[in-house]
Amino acid sequence: MLDRVSQDIKTAMKEKKKAKLDALRYMKAMLIENKTAPKPKEEMDVVISHYKKLKDSLESYPEGSEMIDKIKSEMEFIAEYMPQPMSKEEVQKLIDEIKGGMDNPHMGMIMKELTPKIKGKFDGKEASQMVKDALK
């Protein structure tokens, strides 16, 4: 991941794309910082976490502001590094498989198995609601 980001930084420099360059430099700094952390996370988790923070920060600014546009463009650049999103149907299929393999399924058991499979690929809150619906 770090190598790919470094290569993309070089490309952005050659193409003189300042916004993309800034976003990639920040992401590279986070990946390097994570590598030297006492308990480093997986690189994909760092990218997913950053993307979620950007998404959450959209709510802090008024619609149409310059900051919203900047955050959205940064999210577009970072989305290239995110795992492929899953559809509702795929998540529902996983929920059904997990639920079917348990004797007495409950919310916690299903979410414990489901979360690592959908991490960064599907919204956790929506998946949680789908599990609740499946247990009714």
pLDDT digits (tens, 9 = 90+) for 45-96: 898 889 889 988 888 888 878 888 889 999 998 988 888 888 888 988 888 8
Rg (CA), the chain: 18
Q: What is the pTM of this model?
A: 0.69
Instruction: Count how many domains the chain has.
Output: 2
pLDDT at 96: 86
Instruction: Work out the mean pLDDT of the chain and round it to a whole number.
Output: 88
User: Cα separation of 100 and 106, whole Å?
Assistant: 11
Instruction: Specify whether 17 is located in the same domain as 54.
Output: yes
For residue 104, give its domain range.
88-134
- Compute the 3-state secondary structure of the chain and give helix, strand, coil in percent, each to the nearest 5: 75, 0, 25
Instruction: Specify whether 93 is located in the same domain as 130.
Output: yes
pLDDT band at residue 22 under the 50/70/90 scheme: very high
